[in-house]
Amino acid sequence: MKQLRGKKALITGAASGIGRAIALELASQGTDLYLIDIDEKGLADVTSEAKRRDIEVVQRRCDLRVVQQIQETISHVVENWGGCDILVNNAGILLYGATDQTTDDQWAQLTAVNLHAPVYFMRALLPILLRRPEAHILNVCSIYGLVPKRRLAAYEMAKFALVGLSQSLRLEYGPRGLGITALCPGLVK
C-alpha cells in the first residue's frame, strides 16, 4: 500500500501490544482507525493517543468469543464506515499447559479468538476489500504457527490454521489485487 493517509483500518486486539503499536503507527501515517478490544481502559488509552494525529478514531468493545458481538461490530463498521481498506486480525489469547488437561472450554475460547474471529471478519469484509484499491489483510499469527513447541497445542492449532488460511487466501485473492500477510512474531513483551 503506497498511501496510508485517508485509508480506514479495522484492528482487533488494539488495546495493547502489537495491536496498539500497529494502531499508533497507522495513525502517524494518517490512517483512520476502527479499534476493537475487550479491554475498555486500554482501548480508551490508545484511542486518546491516536486522536492526537487528527484522524477519525472509533473504539468498540467486542468480545471475540461471542459471535453476535462480532456480527454487530461488522454491521457497525459497514453501515457507519462503509467497511475498511485494511483489516488487522491481531487479537489473540494464549494458554500454556498439557493438552490432556486443557478443558473443552479453553479449547473453544482459544479457537474462537485466534481462528474463528479472524475468519468471520475476513469473510464478511472480503467483498468490500476486493472493491478497494490496495486493500490489505494482516493476520497476526505466531512463530508457533510455523514451529511447534510443547504444551501449546490449542494455541498452535489455531495459529497454524491461520497461517494456512492466509496463504490460501493470498493465492485466491492476490491476483485480484488484495494483499494478505501472515505476520509470525516470536515472543513479544
Point out the residues that are catalytic: 155, 159
DSSP the chain: ----TT-EEEEESTTSHHHHHHHHHHHHTT-EEEEEES-HHHHHHHHHHHHTTS--EEEEE--TT-HHHHHHHHHHHHHHH---SEEEE-------S-GGG--HHHHHHHHIIIIIHHHHHHHHHHHHHHHSTT-EEEEE--GGGTS--TT-HHHHHHHHHHHHHHHHHHHHHGGGT-EEEEE------
Distance CA 144, CA 155 (A): 8
Distance CA 158, CA 166 (A): 12
Distance CA 83, CA 124 (A): 10
Q: Looking at this protein, which amino acid is placed at residue 5?
A: R
